[in-house]
Amino acid sequence: MPKPVVDADLCTGCTLCVDVAPNTFEMNDDGVSVVIDPEGDDQDAIQEAIDTCPVEAITWE
Ligand code: SF4
């Protein structure tokens, strides 16, 4: 299974990915999105989060 990865250097902290896939992504104390469970949401929801990210900080690995 591919896993989503957030590039912390690109993330602007907009929280959109957390809104779309809240069981996969969480904002950390630095205001950056982190993956808390790579299979927390179904793949379509994670793909939507990837597509929603305005700075393309999330990729499949
Ligand atoms: S959508 Fe992109 S920029 Fe926004 S919090 Fe998620 S990873 Fe960061």
pLDDT in tens, 6-16: 999 999 999 99
Token pair for 12: 């602007």
pLDDT of residue 27: 98
Taking CA atoms, 11 is separated from 1, 7, 34, in Å, by 23, 6, 10
Q: Is 58 in the pocket of ligand 1 (CB under 6 A)?
A: yes
Ordered by start, the domain boundaries in the chain are 4-60
Closest CA to 11 of 31, 35, 41, 36: 31
pLDDT in tens, 15-60: 999 999 999 999 999 999 999 999 999 999 999 999 999 999 999 9
Nearest-CA residue for atom 6 of ligand 1: 17
pLDDT of residue 60: 98
- 1 — pLDDT class (breaks 50, 70, 90): confident
CATH number of 4-60: 3.30.70.20
